[in-house]
Chain A
Amino acid sequence: MTDVLTPSFVTTVIALGITAAVPLLYASLGEIFAESSGVLNVGLEGMMLSGAFAGFVVTLETRELLLGLLAGGVAGALVSLLMVLFCIRLGLDQIVIGIGIVLAAEGATSLLYTTWFVGSRPRLPAIDELAVPILSELPVVGGSLFTQPLAVYVGLGLVVVCGWVLRRTTIGLNVRAAGERPDSLDAAGVSVVRVRTLAEVFCGALAGVGGAYLAIVQAGTFGAFVTGGVGFIAIVIAMLARGRVYWSILGALLFGMSLSIATALQLVGIAIPTDFVFMLPFISIIVVLILFARQARLPSALGLPYHRGSR
């Protein structure tokens, strides 16, 4: 094994790991916000998938990564409006609606992709051409660690900002109150519906950006079910995070690295069946859940619609 641990191998693991971690980082960060406000956003996968498709199409047309990511965010936010309408406004069951959103998004994106790109199956240019020049030219130690696209740095910055907002500002207090004690928040004169709506749309937008990044940068193309369960992993990470946003970095990296180590091992000639690679992140999440089961906790009003004056 010693000859495997060459610098180039480590570099590959880190580079691939970070690329795989970014979609998860965005999505789980959004989900933390939604869950803190009391909305269990099961439709996250559907929002990522919609974002992935929108991002792919826009990037293909414009050749602009940033426009693609933006389009992904808009698409994710639009899909999250379904959650807002059905679950937050009308107070319908969040899980049923979430499943409906996942199914409809899977069907719709697959259908649109096949109709629009049937036969051609276009690929996007490699992301290197789209990387932000200033940052990628920084002189660095550790090779690939700092030649990441802008989205990585924006993501890390967002974690810091979101952590600050959630812990130290009135907005964050309102969001957490909406998840823990919606009635108290209402009594304090703040609309629970409005706080949850904002948190949910923010979550949808982040999930959409994450999905767009996954399609544009990580996969380089779109395909049916391209997100492959990443949205659900993000929900687990958000649950384990218990509102602490920095955990999303940890969780995203855990997932990203477990994927990239296997891929990198294949690159240096150690064959691991790809099916096993596919399972690895899910196994690591289950192991983490078993080890840290006591720590996973959800806001007390999570999943419960708020009806004013229902007590």
Chain B
Amino acid sequence: MTALATTADALPAPASSPRRASRWATSLALTLIPVGLALVACGVILAGLGVDPIAFYRDMVTASVVRTSGLYDSIARMAPILLISCGLIVVFRANLWNLGMDGQYLLAAAFVAGLGPWLMTQVPVIVGWIVLSLVAMAIGAAWTIIPAWLKSRFGINEIVTTLMMSFIGVGLAVVLVKGPFDGPGGTPQTDVLPPEAMLADIPGTNVHIGVIVALLVCLITYLVFARTSFGTRLDVLGANPRAAVHLGIDVTRLIIVAFLISGALIGLAAAVDIQGIFAYMRSDWNPSYGLAVVPLVFLARLNALAIIPFAAFFSLLSIGGLYATRRADLPSDFGLLFTGLMLLFMVGIQYLYDRRSRARDSVVRRTRRSAEDD
């Protein structure tokens, strides 16, 4: 599967500055056009359903940016999106597919919400934050072990195994919240983290420090791929597994490590979300960021810094979309339609662009493709 060949083409390469500028312009166009097309297509669908699209989009922006509380919500929402995105970038660049984010996230969230309120009475708050985050990372990572092992040992397609594990993880999280982690009271939900145990806010705002952590993780992920041999090995594995073997890379180990990191970052997203925003977990709660984050990661061309504006856009979309869909009497799943269309447009636009530039670098391309086929 040469899945990421197109994205690898678009990664910034060392070039003279005028070429770099035109590359930037191209990347920007390849990114903004699909977003714009999805906005237009959804506007048409909204109009078809008898909803004024302009008012809908205006509601969305008002609720997520113009109002201060909405703005803080949107920024805070970026934290889990960024962390999940980084978790996906690590595996996607190695051409591995971890699509079990929902299970890894929710299971980690159940443990944080279940153990947190008790733990916070036992240890200082800062120790509690660190321990809970580590627990969440361990849970998230543990949930990728079976797919990683099946993939590295037997070559079993990880898409389906991670998805299966995701369904199990979601179910298990519900069982845990209804069972051992169930707090007092009628509704099946965990105890609530006391306000003083919640992640501290960035001074002067209502946004918790988890956002800073997430931004740091983005920077680190970017540097790992730009500066370290580990990142390069992941890229080589993604570009050409056979070449990776010939280069003496321990592919089995690399696959497992990549999956563990991916799961750990997704677990961290849950820890930040529960400790920063939600404070407890109800058994029917599932934000299911899952598949919706995938388009963002591809729009950002698997670049951990480029993901930041997309995460901001998506946060705006989900915070504002919730309000706008409620006002328009539509289900909140409307956002899924938007992201799905965005993904399809993105791949289509990329294709048109590739076809135009194919003539230019056909020699390079043909060489590479024959190398992949052999």
- CB-defined contacts of A286 to chain B, threshold 8 Å: 146, 161, 164-165, 168
- Whether the Cβ atoms of A310 and B366 lie closer than 8 Å is yes
Q: When A107-B333, A289-B150 are in contact, do A278 and B171 touch as well, CB less than 8 Å?
A: yes
Q: Does A170 make an interface contact (CB < 8 A)? A: no
Interface stretch of the complex, out of A51-59, A155-163, A241-249, A293-301:
A293-301
- Whether the Cβ atoms of A114 and B291 lie closer than 8 Å is no
> Whole-angstrom distance from the CB of A28 to the nearest CB of chain B?
12
Q: When A92-B347, A229-B163, A311-B370 are in contact, do A100 and B331 touch as well, CB less than 8 Å?
A: no
Q: How far is the CA of A105 from the CA of B340 in the complex (A)?
A: 8
Considering the complex, give the chain B residue whose CB is closest to the CB of A228: B167
Task: State which size class the interface on A falls in.
Answer: 35 or more
Q: How far is the CA of A126 from the CA of B165 in the complex (A)?
A: 34
Q: When A96-B3, A293-B150 are in contact, do A101 and B340 touch as well, CB less than 8 Å?
A: yes
Considering the complex, give the chain B residue whose CB is closest to the CB of A85: B348
- Whether the Cβ atoms of A310 and B369 lie closer than 8 Å is yes
Contact of A111 (CB < 8 Å), options: B156, B172, B331, B373: B331
Q: How far is the CA of A279 from the CA of B171 in the complex (A)?
A: 6
- Whether the Cβ atoms of A111 and B49 lie closer than 8 Å is yes
Q: When A86-B344, A111-B330 are in contact, do A279 and B168 touch as well, CB less than 8 Å?
A: yes
Q: Does A200 make an interface contact (CB < 8 A)? A: no
The interface centre, meaning the residue of A82, A95, A103, A233 with most chain B CB atoms within 10 A of its CB, is: A103
- Whether the Cβ atoms of A303 and B1 lie closer than 8 Å is yes
- Whether the Cβ atoms of B49 and A115 lie closer than 8 Å is yes
Contact pattern, A 206-230, Cβ under 8 Å of B = 1, otherwise 0:
0000000000000000001000010
Q: Does A99 make an interface contact (CB < 8 A)? A: yes
Q: Does B153 make an interface contact (CB < 8 A)? A: yes
- CB-defined contacts of B172 to chain A, threshold 8 Å: 279
Contact pattern, A 274-308, Cβ under 8 Å of B = 1, otherwise 0:
01101100110110011001101010000110010
Contact of A100 (CB < 8 Å), options: B1, B49, B347: B347
27 residue pairs from A and B, CB less than 8 Å apart: A86-B347, A92-B350, A93-B3, A93-B6, A97-B347, A100-B295, A100-B340, A102-B340, A104-B336, A106-B337, A106-B340, A110-B331, A111-B333, A115-B49, A224-B331, A224-B333, A229-B167, A239-B157, A273-B175, A279-B171, A279-B175, A282-B167, A282-B168, A286-B168, A294-B154, A296-B156, A304-B1
The 8 closest A-B pairs by CB, nearest first: A107-B337, A104-B340, A103-B340, A107-B336, A279-B171, A100-B343, A110-B333, A293-B154
Q: Which A positions have Cβ atoms within 8 angstroms of B? A: 40, 42, 82, 86, 90, 92-93, 95-97, 99-108, 110-111, 113-115, 118, 224, 229, 232-233, 235-236, 239, 273, 275-276, 278-279, 282-283, 285-286, 289-290, 293-294, 296, 298, 303-304, 307, 310-311
